[in-house]
Amino acid sequence: MWCVPLSGGYPVRFIATLLACLCLAGASQAQTLVKPGEVDQIVDIARGFGSGTLEKDETEYVRGRIDGTLYVIFFNDCNSDRSECQSLQFYASWDGVPVDQAAINGWNRDKRFAKAYVDAENDPVLEMDVNLRHGVTRGNLEDTFDWWRLSLREFKSGVLKL
């Protein structure tokens, strides 16, 4: 006989096979985390939604374009050597584009993820903060970029009327 029954009547080989299948299924669903210091993965995801390059002045940031709209991603809550940052801030502004304050207020009242305001030069700004503390899955970060893409589109067409 090729298998030994257990007290519950299930053969050992069956249970071993079942456990192996469950382990393989779990491994195939597990996703690698994008950790706070993995800037190259963030740039790679940005490129999947348009363009994305890592820029440097006083700090590093990502400059990207989605559907023709220029935006930047700032790295915030960083350690002293900036090798790990705990959050991102997506940022877009439109120089010289008039905007109605009531439309900005309506956006902030009705939308959950991206917030809007008028800066010191009266230019409309759209921002979205993202927590990276302890890492997030690549799929989650891609979904975040998609939320940003949708927010940009809706803000431009609904608030800015562009």
If one counts every other C-beta atom within 10 angstroms of the C-beta of residue 42, the result is 23
Residues 18 and 71 in one domain: no
Any idea what the CATH number is for the domain that residue 86 is in?
3.30.1460.10
Structure-model confidence comparison of residues 12 and 159, the more confident one: 159
Residues 26 and 42 in one domain: no
Residues 103 and 140 in one domain: yes
Q: CA torsion sign, 151 to 157 to 158 to 162?
A: positive
25: containing domain? 1-30
User: Which amino acid, residue 5?
Assistant: P
DSSP per-residue string spanning the chain: ----B-TTS-BHHHHHHHHHHHHHHHHHH---EE-TT-HHHHHHHHHHTSEEEEEESSSEEEEEEETTEEEEEEEEEE-TTSS-EEEEEEEEE-TT----HHHHHHHHHH-SS-EEEE-TTS-EEEEEEEE-TT-EEHHHHHHHHHHHHHHHHHIIIIIS--
Residues 25 and 59 in one domain: no
Residues 47 and 14 in one domain: no
pLDDT score for 11: 60
Residues 49 and 111 in one domain: yes
Residues 61 and 89 in one domain: yes
Tens of pLDDT, residues 83-140:
788 999 999 999 999 999 999 999 999 999 999 999 999 999 999 999 998 889 999 9
User: Which amino acid, residue 9?
Assistant: G
pLDDT score for 41: 93
pLDDT score for 28: 42
Q: Please give the tally of structural domains in the chain.
A: 2
pLDDT score for 79: 87
Closest listed residue to residue 140, CA positions, set 132, 129, 149:
132
Residues 21 and 55 in one domain: no
pLDDT score for 24: 46
Residues 22 and 56 in one domain: no
Residues 2 and 75 in one domain: no
pLDDT score for 13: 59
Tens of pLDDT, residues 6-64:
555 556 554 545 445 444 444 444 678 888 778 999 999 999 999 999 999 988 999 99
Residues 108 and 149 in one domain: yes
Residues 16 and 52 in one domain: no
Tens of pLDDT, residues 64-92:
999 999 999 999 998 887 778 899 999 99
